Structure 1
Amino acid sequence: MSNFAKPQVPQFSMEVYQNTYLPEGGREVNAIVTVTSTGGTTTLSGAAPDAAVVIMVDCSGSMDYPPVKMRNARDATAAAVDALRDGVSFAVVAGTHQAREVYPGGGRLAVADGTTRAQAKEALRKLSPGGGTAIGTWLRLADQLLSGSGRSIRHGILLTDGRNEHEEPQALRAALDSCAGRFTCDARGVGTDWVVKEVTGIASALLGTADIVADPAGLAADFTQMMEGAMGKEVADVALRLWTPMGAEVTFVKQVAPAMEELTTRRVEAGPRAGDYPTGAWGDESRDYHVCVRVPQAAVGQEMLAARASLVLPAPDGGTPQVLAQALVRAVWTDDLAASTAINPQVAHYTGQAELAQVIQQGLDLRKSGDIDGATAKLGRAVQLASRSGHEDTARLLAKVVDVVDAATGTVRLKAKVTAEAEMTLETRSTKTVRVKK
């Protein structure tokens, strides 16, 4: 018998924000779908979730420069182990050009309690840096360990300080493809010698978070926070299902809060005219999704259901999935110009946030390639959008890369000297969004 109670599934609700009116001949329907989950047992009682967690720690040779980096990584992993709730399965993996089980070993997971936490922390003390970096091997070992756990919520935490130099890019891509949908993973880059697109790519593929911890001294607090987040998850493998009527089709689906995540290409067919988009694991939280549907042309006065959005939980035996919440996206054709041209504030806000993420990435890429004018134009537009949407965190990060002359018009000058930390922090956090003020 396991020593944890099966958590009660949280209550889910969905709200749709859209302008339902289209002009005659109009075909594009945009809606923001807000999904909120509240009141699961784990959150209310502090009980152990039905979860397994594998922590992957970079132990490559570069972790010895400076030596404090490895020490901080050991301390951070110990802090994460301390944040595990009793009854949760866990393991620690050391990552170099290969993956090695540090604790408990033998291809299995330990169950967290006072004894196993102390044993894990003892094993961590023996970790020392040496070897290369092949992150795909770390992820594949984590997948093996998690898939044998029998737990419904499977989560990884990955720390790296360098480039994935000891395997081909396609080897990492293949590992991510094989792990996608099997576990979620938060990824962190420590210091400034790692590649932002590698770390954010891992988190994106595995529906986790990515961030920079420029100063290794900040690792313990960050690891504790990540583990507490994982301990708050109560239901895994939730999908956003979109059904569209004959003649209508989904153009795109994006998560737009708390961070931008493109989901369109991850669609899995789910019966006639329906598709499932993965959302990962949920605790007590709220997220926003931007759904765009192309509908058939219709005459003024006609009305139709453009899409039905459902949140579904797959049945463990492959039977009928449980529907957790539902909402409708509608279309009404009108000749009232004011009604049909009004842009819903939520849709407008997140369209701006998507552009903000895009122009930051483009601006930084242009800066790296030496196109000063192009970079200045893109990052100036980013300053303007951040200012307009009240995204103060991004505005602060931009101000470390450009001198802002006039935020309202997006007039900026590139700074002559920019630290690697400032540039990497801006790039890593560019997809984080602020929610629209309801």
Structure 2
Amino acid sequence: MSSSPTRPPQPGIRLHVDLDHDVRPHRNAKIEAHLRVDVDADGVPTDLPAVELAVIIAVDVAEANRAAVRHALPAALKALPDRISFAVLGSGPEPVLCYPRGGEEWAVADREQRRRAVFVTGSLPLHRDGPRPAGYAPWVARARTLLADRPLSVRHLVLITDGSSAARGTSRALADELDRCAGQFTCDVFAVGADWDPDPLLTLAERLHGSADFADGGLDRSITAAIQRLRRVHAPLLPIDVTVRPCVRQVSISEKAPRPHRLGGLPQPGRPIRWSFPTYQWEQGRRDYLLTLVADADGDPLETTLQFAMVSIGRHVHHPVVARWHLPESSPPQAAAGADSVRALNATGRMRGALRKGLVALEAHQRRAAEDWLGQAARLAARLGSDWVLEEIRTVADVEDAAAGRVRLRPVDARSLGPLILRAVSGPGSLPADAVLARPGPRCGACGTPAGGEARYCITCGEKLL
């Protein structure tokens, strides 16, 4: 692959903010805003120079599942670009550095290094009978230690797991280790086999700003694609800073697309009204975030436009979040288009959550709860036009009426649901540029009959519509 020795410090970034500008005043009032960030990398070299990347490939797999990595790992190593820094971890009582050897901790890819690495993977140590790492925390800790000595622009862990080192009661240890890893590197997780728990894999991907996927049939392509994606990164670290009015007591940001997860906010020392939310691996394209502010109206004027926050990305991109406290005794005006955008984001989150809960309930043999949750997911998918969700539901149920949320479960093997649960969280479904949920029309309060947007009386019972 060709690479360019120079890159602009930052691609073009545009920030757009949508919200309902009229808020009812009360304590703990919630102000939600849709942040749409567009990254334009025109004129920026296509690929990040490989010399700026450090990648660890960690193989957390039992000997019984060697076939899952026997051919995939050599193929992925052969596809490494020249000059990328890499290391390979194998399995044992603790994660073992298998390549490079001879006291070195990092190899720099060239034809000879790739050949040697492929040869070594033929005898890669995998889990056998006996002690194994207690969960995923040791793998993340070993990666953190290795990557600390490789201060490059992009540092990344590729963890391949069949769940064989997972252990009960280790979630606290993993959470503590992920706290120590925050901001140090990113991580993609690829699950193989059929005996793994999706929850810790999703935790790893969310906390380390990566993805969790099932890759049993194309592991080599998945690893290669992950590294190619790293080379498309134009801004390895880009914080979203939020400076708020003193009346704002809580600030949170969740990425909704392309990778749904909650961002960790860091208060700025000596600046209690400013929060920084680190984000990673910015490529050309669009990201959607939901900013939530919790504020009190005490002492603020009513019916006056106020700036509740300033959102900043990088040094030169800023956008205010403005709204006003609406008089509580008067009828609110027609909600602005920004409110539709926020509703669409929230509905997308509820849809993904319902899909995941339905699959988890089905995995636990709670069929009635599964049918209810999957029905909710189907109804929201029909409203949002998210066909991928309906396709996921159809793998386990017949969708009788998506708009009404009616599904009927089919017999399924609970062990096959892990990949579906991963996709429910990290699958497609980014918000279209003009995503707007249709406003519900009037509905009869007496008999519940829906009516058209201009109707004033129910055509079934004659009652005035609410």
Q: Considering only aligned residues, what root-mean-square deviation do their CA atoms show, in Å? A: 2.6
Aligned to 1:426: 420
Tell me the distance in 2 between the aligned counterparts of 1:262 and 1:391: 21
1:301 CA displacement: 2.9
Aligned to 2:14: 13
Instruction: Flag the 1:146–1:290 CA change in 2: closer, same or farther, 3 A.
Output: same
Aligned to 2:247: 247
Q: Secondary structure of 2:275's match?
A: strand
Range 328-337 or range 37-46, more displaced:
37-46
Q: Does 1:108 align with 2:110?
A: no
Tell me the distance in 2 between the aligned counterparts of 1:79 and 1:37: 33
1:146 CA displacement: 1.1
Q: Secondary structure of 1:217's match?
A: coil
Is the CA contact 1:157–1:186 (under 8 Å) kept in the aligned structure 2?
yes
Aligned pair partner of 1:326 in 307, 318, 322: 318
Aligned to 1:318: none
Q: Secondary structure of 1:290's match?
A: strand
Identical-pair percentage: 25
1:227 CA displacement: 1.2
Q: Secondary structure of 2:272's match?
A: coil
Aligned pair partner of 1:364 in 356, 359, 365: 359
Range 412-421 or range 216-225, more displaced:
412-421
Aligned pair partner of 1:176 in 172, 178, 181: 178
Aligned to 2:69: 70
Opposite residue 143 of structure 2, the aligned amino acid is: A
1:384 CA displacement: 1.0
Is the CA contact 2:57–2:88 (under 8 Å) kept in the aligned structure 1?
yes
Aligned pair partner of 1:392 in 364, 387, 392: 387
Larger radius of gyration: 2
Tell me the distance in 1 between the aligned counterparts of 2:158 and 2:46: 24
1:168 CA displacement: 5.0
Instruction: Flag the 1:24–1:139 CA change in 2: closer, same or farther, 3 A.
Output: closer
Q: TM-score when scaled to structure 1?
A: 0.86
1:333 CA displacement: 4.2
Tell me the distance in 1 between the aligned counterparts of 2:187 and 2:316: 24
Q: Does 1:57 align with 2:51?
A: no
Tell me the distance in 2 between the aligned counterparts of 1:149 and 1:42: 25
Aligned to 1:352: 347
Q: Does 1:97 align with 2:96?
A: no
Opposite residue 91 of structure 1, the aligned amino acid is: A
Q: Does 1:123 align with 2:120?
A: yes
Q: Which has the higher helix share?
A: 1
Long gaps (5+) in structure 2: 435-466
Is the CA contact 1:185–1:209 (under 8 Å) kept in the aligned structure 2?
yes
Tell me the distance in 1 between the aligned counterparts of 2:295 and 2:138: 45
Long gaps (5+) in structure 1: 313-322
Range 217-226 or range 25-34, more displaced:
25-34
Q: Secondary structure of 1:338's match?
A: coil
Question: 1:163-242 to 2 correspondence within 5 Å?
Answer: 163-165=164-166, 168-169=169-170, 170-213=172-215, 216-242=216-242
Is the CA contact 1:4–1:49 (under 8 Å) kept in the aligned structure 2?
no
Q: Secondary structure of 1:302's match?
A: coil
Aligned pair partner of 1:37 in 22, 36, 39: 39
Range 100-109 or range 403-412, more displaced:
100-109
Instruction: Flag the 1:167–1:398 CA change in 2: closer, same or farther, 3 A.
Output: closer
1:254 CA displacement: 0.6
